[in-house]
Amino acid sequence: MVKVLVLGASGYIGNAVAQAFARSGHEAFGLVRKREKVNMLARNEIFPILGDVNDLSSWMPTAELCDVIVDATSEYNEPVKLVNTILNSCNEISKKRVEAGGSKLLLIYASGLWVYGGDSFSIKSEQTPLQTDLKLDLWRPECERQILNSPHINGIIIRSGAVYGKSGSLTGIWFKAAVEGRLEGIGNRDIRWAFVHVDDLAESYVQAAERVEIVKGQIFNIVNNSTESMGDVLTAIARVTKFKGEIKYREPTTDFEIAMTHTDLFTNRKPQTLLGWHQKKLGFVDGIEIWWNSFKGWNDL
């Protein structure tokens, strides 16, 4: 059993990760900013820590008791500053642990696949050089390198595909749009995405933490076995929501939407081999009835 603190534990990924650690028999703590989220964590056997990641005094005392820190903050305002704050804090905690005869602190960083760039239809692995030209993620590769190269901590990077399931995240936006009578994609119907269910993704964090001595310093792409086209995705959403209008596609207008138009293909062989990770949930299109039913439950539809 390890003690783990999840930063961003009320978020879509962070909450799933905290719950996965708790289900696996580990002692989980979660940092949340809003008091109304406290009971949500406690009900799922996670110790809630009320505070802000930028206020070190609110979470450092708990972090000093933990073996694992998960950064699932997903901050896009000043992301480099935030990552550096978390990394520097973890470095200090870890140095004290080692001086006291303990092991290095493990920091698992929640990243994404938009760091790759390059040829859309060339299958990418964790060894593929990063060539992203997306403004949204130009900052991220250097932050990843700093985490992996720190001599004071054990760092692991989890790069996830587009996440679905439960409340829906980005896919929830499409469900909501269909319910409201409009459904549109960015780019065109032939764009292909690498997806992963939020529970499958969360399991990879637990597996990485449990194998830290084997996989420290490693990067893992956590994606389903096959990609899915935007056309198939939106057609499935239209069917299950009984959307009767026309599915439209438009050009991107923001940095985030530009990123959404990228097709990328990935192999998930490395996490299968080193973590024992495997896709368990159905793909997005095949399991659309399940994801729609869950979305309705989360949104009182």
The residue ranges of every structural domain in the chain are 3-164+195-225+265-282
Any long-range contacts for 281-289 (C-beta under 8 Å, 24+ apart)?
Answer: 281/165, 281/197, 281/199, 281/200, 283/195, 283/224, 283/226, 283/228, 284/164, 284/171, 284/195, 284/228, 284/233, 284/236, 285/228, 285/232, 285/233, 285/236, 288/236, 288/237, 288/239, 288/240, 289/240
pLDDT value for 283: 99
Answer whether CATH 3.40.366.10 is correct for domain 3-164+195-225+265-282. no
pTM score, two decimals? 0.97
User: Does pLDDT of 75 surpass 80?
Assistant: no
The pLDDT, as a whole number, for residue 242 is 97
Instruction: Write out pLDDT tens, residues 229-240.
Output: 999 999 999 999
**Per-residue confidence band for 77, with pLDDT thresholds at 50, 70 and 90:** confident
Q: Which segments within 117-203 are labelled E, that is strand? A: 154-160, 162-164, 184-186, 192-193, 195-197
CA distance 21 to 208: 11
Residue 198 contacts residue 163 (beta carbons within 8 Å):
yes
Q: Is the pLDDT of residue 152 over 80?
A: yes
- Is the pLDDT at 294 greater than 80? The verdict is yes
**pLDDT higher than 80, residue 110:** yes
Q: Distance (Å, rounded) from C-alpha 128 to C-alpha 51?
A: 38
pLDDT at residue 89 tops 90:
yes
Tell me the average pLDDT of the chain.
97
Per residue in 31-50, pLDDT (tens digit) is 999 999 999 999 999 999 99
